[in-house]
């Protein structure tokens, strides 16, 4: 937990294992330029599997692949259009396996996720609208690596990455590094114009393919699956708000609010739900304003009507949970949007300080601002 000092009583056996690992890591680091590529890759692997946070070892492994790339550069140039060398492809595959094993040891290793993403970007083809042939991390190299895979194999790689992310998120759905990698995978999929909906890893329950292939739509599906298991996942709500912008046509705002209402009743004190709820209400208001501006009266609805409906729902919730701080704050916000500043000021100045005395000063300041708005 944040703000809580950790205590760890290290046993003698654990201390001995740590000293052994530290000695091996120091030795490999000191000899990383003296060892041959194959020897370094072999010796650094067990060290990284015990502690994958050694950035220097991962960086040297990158350099080994780049050196191998440069050795194959002449062959790749002379044999343009031929398949990449099998030995080089196998070395890259082995590197993927090492990173996967390291992630299973430590799913929140920054260095390992960064190394795996570097590998993935190196093997994928360029996007159709891209003109650059350089790869991040390859220095002054002017060519794509010869281990680059064709589109059909790229689809397999991306589907494998998505499946790995889902497995790790199933173990810990708050692993923000896993979430970030998943978003990168979906972005790369969209960038090179692939459709993962036909792969087995992208099937929903019952084997039915996930609708749509766009990154935003797939992310909406994945976040909904996670939220059905854990409705208080802040990271899932965050990436869901990003996915909406990518696939607005596949998002039903009223259906989303109905789902949030159920969570608000079951988890009234979870802040992640309320943050996302307020964001949805703001977005819904903006969409209605756009509808009214375009004179599409069949789609435009009175925002005041929906605010009043939300107030009724909040009143019903407060009857069950009269000390629900977030529900009181939401009620005050809706009242301000409806122009009922005096009632909002009463909630902010009287009810909320009793429920949440630590923020009494903030509520009193907001109540004063409401009263000034009521007199304006």
Show me where the domains of the chain are located.
Answer: 24-73+85-149, 159-251, 264-376
Q: Give the pLDDT of residue 348.
A: 94
Q: Give the pLDDT of residue 79.
A: 55
With bands split at pLDDT 50, 70 and 90, how would you rate the model's confidence at 151?
A: confident
Task: Tell me what the mean pLDDT of segment 81-105 comes to.
Answer: 82
Q: Give the pLDDT of residue 3.
A: 57
363: nearest Cα among 329, 324, 320: 329
Q: List Cβ<8 Å contacts ≥24 apart for 23-26.
A: 25/51, 25/54, 25/57
Question: Above 70 in pLDDT, residue 134?
Answer: no
Q: How far is CA 230 from the centre of its chain?
A: 15
> Which residues, 6+ apart, have CB-to-CB distance to 317 below 8 Å?
264, 265, 268, 324, 327
Which range, 46-50, 73-77, 171-175, 329-333, has the best average confidence (pLDDT)? Answer: 329-333
Task: Mean pLDDT check: name the lowest of 31-35, 91-95, 109-113, 211-215.
Answer: 211-215
With bands split at pLDDT 50, 70 and 90, how would you rate the model's confidence at 10?
A: low
Residue by residue, what is the 3-state secondary structure of 273-287? HHHHHHHHHHHHHHH
Query: Which 3 state secondary structure label does DSSP give 295?
Result: coil
d(CA 157, CA 123): 9
Task: Mean pLDDT check: name the lowest of 35-39, 163-167, 214-218.
Answer: 214-218
With bands split at pLDDT 50, 70 and 90, how would you rate the model's confidence at 84?
A: low
Higher pLDDT, 340 or 139: 340
With bands split at pLDDT 50, 70 and 90, how would you rate the model's confidence at 251?
A: confident
**Phi, psi (5° rounding) for residue 154?**
-60, -35
244: nearest Cα among 222, 212, 216: 216
One fold for 24-73+85-149 and 264-376: yes
**Phi, psi (5° rounding) for residue 209?**
-65, 145
CATH architecture of 264-376: Alpha Horseshoe (1.25)
Q: Give the pLDDT of residue 220.
A: 92
Higher pLDDT, 112 or 75: 112
Q: Give the pLDDT of residue 197.
A: 58
Q: Give the pLDDT of residue 130.
A: 44
d(CA 222, CA 261): 20
Query: Which 3 state secondary structure label does DSSP give 35?
Result: coil
Task: Tell me what the mean pLDDT of segment 14-18 comes to.
Answer: 75
d(CA 262, CA 251): 18
Question: Above 90 in pLDDT, residue 355?
Answer: yes
Task: Tell me what the mean pLDDT of segment 188-204 comes to.
Answer: 60
108: nearest Cα among 53, 28, 59: 53
DSSP letter for each residue of 113-170: HHHHHHHHHHHSPPPTT------TTSTT--S--TT---HHHHHHHHHHHHHHHHHHHH
Higher pLDDT, 86 or 54: 54
d(CA 338, CA 332): 10
User: What is the pTM assigned to this prediction?
Assistant: 0.78
Q: Give the pLDDT of residue 343.
A: 93
Both tokens of 339, joined, read: 């122009």
Task: Mean pLDDT check: name the lowest of 11-20, 79-88, 284-293.
Answer: 79-88
Burial of 298 per CB tally in 10 Å (0-12, 13-18, 19+): exposed
Question: Above 90 in pLDDT, residue 346?
Answer: yes
Both tokens of 344, joined, read: 């909002």
d(CA 120, CA 158): 8
- pLDDT of 297-329, one tens digit each? 444 456 788 899 999 999 999 999 999 999 999
Q: Give the pLDDT of residue 17.
A: 77
Q: Give the pLDDT of residue 292.
A: 56
With bands split at pLDDT 50, 70 and 90, how would you rate the model's confidence at 145?
A: low
Q: Give the pLDDT of residue 87.
A: 73
Both tokens of 252, joined, read: 């039903």
With bands split at pLDDT 50, 70 and 90, how would you rate the model's confidence at 13?
A: confident
Task: Tell me what the mean pLDDT of segment 79-103 comes to.
Answer: 79
Average pLDDT value for the chain: 81
Q: Which residues pair with 203 in a beta bridge?
A: 209
Q: Give the pLDDT of residue 137.
A: 45
CATH of domain 24-73+85-149: 1.25.40.120
Q: Give the pLDDT of residue 288.
A: 67
127: left (phi over 0), alpha (psi -120 to 50) or beta: beta
d(CA 52, CA 116): 12
d(CA 164, CA 168): 6
Query: Which 3 state secondary structure label does DSSP give 203?
Result: strand
Question: Above 50 in pLDDT, residue 247?
Answer: yes
User: How much of the chain is helix, strand and coil, in % rounded to 5?
Assistant: 70, 0, 30
């Amino acid at each position: 937990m944040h703000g809580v000092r950790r205590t760890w009583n290290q046993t003698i056996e654990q201390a001995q294992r740590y000293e052994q690992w530290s000695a091996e890591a120091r030795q490999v680091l000191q000899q990383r330029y003296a060892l041959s590529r194959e020897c370094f890759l072999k010796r650094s692997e067990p060290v990284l599997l015990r502690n994958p946070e050694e950035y220097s070892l991962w960086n040297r492994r990158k350099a080994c692949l780049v050196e191998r790339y440069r050795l194959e550069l002449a062959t790749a140039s002379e044999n343009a259009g031929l398949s990449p060398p099998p030995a080089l492809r196998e070395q890259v595959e082995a590197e993927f396996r090492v990173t996967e094993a390291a992630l299973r040891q430590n799913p929140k290793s920054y260095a390992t996720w960064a190394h795996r993403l570097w590998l993935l970007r190196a093997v994928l083809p360029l996007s159709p609208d891209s003109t650059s042939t350089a790869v991040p991390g390859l220095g002054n190299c002017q060519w794509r690596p010869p281990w680059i895979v064709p589109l059909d194999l790229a689809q397999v790689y991306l589907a494998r990455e998505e499946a790995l992310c889902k497995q790790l998120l199933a173990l810990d759905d708050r692993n923000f590094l896993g979430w970030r990698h998943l978003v990168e995978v979906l972005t790369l999929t969209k960038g090179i114009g692939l459709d993962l909906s036909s792969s087995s890893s992208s099937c929903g329950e019952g084997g039915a393919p996930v609708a749509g292939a766009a990154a935003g739509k797939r992310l909406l599906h994945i976040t909904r699956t996670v939220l059905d298991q854990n409705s208080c996942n802040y990271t899932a709500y965050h990436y869901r708000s990003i996915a909406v912008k990518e696939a607005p046509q596949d998002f039903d705002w009223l259906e989303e609010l109905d789902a949030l209402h159920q969570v608000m009743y079951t988890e009234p004190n979870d802040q992640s739900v309320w943050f996302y709820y307020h964001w949805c209400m703001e977005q819904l208001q903006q969409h209605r304003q756009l509808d009214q501006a375009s004179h599409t009266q069949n789609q435009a609805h009175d925002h005041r009507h929906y605010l009043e409906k939300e107030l009724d729902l909040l009143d019903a919730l407060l009857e069950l949970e009269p000390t629900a701080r977030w529900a009181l704050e939401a009620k005050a916000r809706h009242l301000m949007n409806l122009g009922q500043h005096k009632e909002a000021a009463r909630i902010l100045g009287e009810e909320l300080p009793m429920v949440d005395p630590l923020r009494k000063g903030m509520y009193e300041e907001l109540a004063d601002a409401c009263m000034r708005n009521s007199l304006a």
